[in-house]
Amino acid sequence: MILTPTRRGVLKGGAAIAASSMLPLPAIAKGQTIKIGNTMPYSGPASAYGQIGMTIGHYIEKLNADGGVKGVKFEWVSYDDGYSPPKTFEQTQRLVESDEVHFLMSSLGTPTVSAINDYTNAMEIPLLFVSSGASKWGHPETHPWTMGWQPDYVSEGRIYGRYVLSEAPGGKVGILYQNDDYGKDYVNGFKEALGDKVSMIVAEEPYEVSDPTVDSQIIKLKSAGADIFLNITTPKFAAQAIRKVAELGWKPLHLLNNVSQSVGAVLKPAGLDNSKDIVSASYAKDPTDPAMKDDETMLAMHAFLDQYYPDADRASSFTVFGYGHGLTLEHLFNQLGDDLSREAIMSAAANLDFKLGTLRPGVTIKTSETDFYPIQSMWLTRFDGNSWVAFGDVLSGAAQGS
Give how far Cα 300 sits from Cα of 241, 274, 277, 319, 388, Å: 34, 32, 30, 13, 21
Give the model's pLDDT for residue 22: 41
Pair (212, 301) in one structural domain = no
Task: Tell me, yes or no, whether 147 and 159 share the same domain.
Answer: no
CA 248 – CA 219 distance, rounded (Å) = 8
Question: Can you tell me the distance from the alpha carbon of 25 to that of 42, in angstroms, rounded to the nearest whole number?
Answer: 28
Contact 367, 147 (CB under 8 A): yes
Same domain, 128 and 180: no
Same domain, 253 and 392: yes
Verify that 157 and 144 share a domain, yes or no.
no
pLDDT computed for residue 31 by the predictor: 66
> Is 202 part of any domain?
yes
Residues 203 and 105 in one domain: no
Low-confidence residues of the chain: pLDDT under 50: 1-24
Does some domain include residue 203?
Answer: yes
Q: Are residues 347 and 275 in the same domain?
A: no
Considering the domain architecture, whether residues 248 and 314 belong to the same structural domain is answered as no
- 28 falls within a domain: no
C-alpha of 270 from chain center: 21
361 CB-contact burial (10 Å; exposed 0-12 / middle 13-18 / buried 19+):
exposed
pLDDT at position 42, please?
97
Q: Which domain holds residue 108?
A: 33-151+291-371
Would residue 11 count as lying in a domain? no
C-beta neighbour count of 383 within 10 angstroms = 22
- CATH number, residue 75: 3.40.50.2300
Question: Does residue 79 share a domain with residue 61?
Answer: yes
| Residues 39 and 135 reside in one and the same domain | yes
Check whether residue 239 and residue 349 sit in a common domain.
Answer: no
pLDDT digits (tens, 9 = 90+) for 230-277: 999 999 999 999 999 999 999 999 999 999 999 999 999 999 999 999
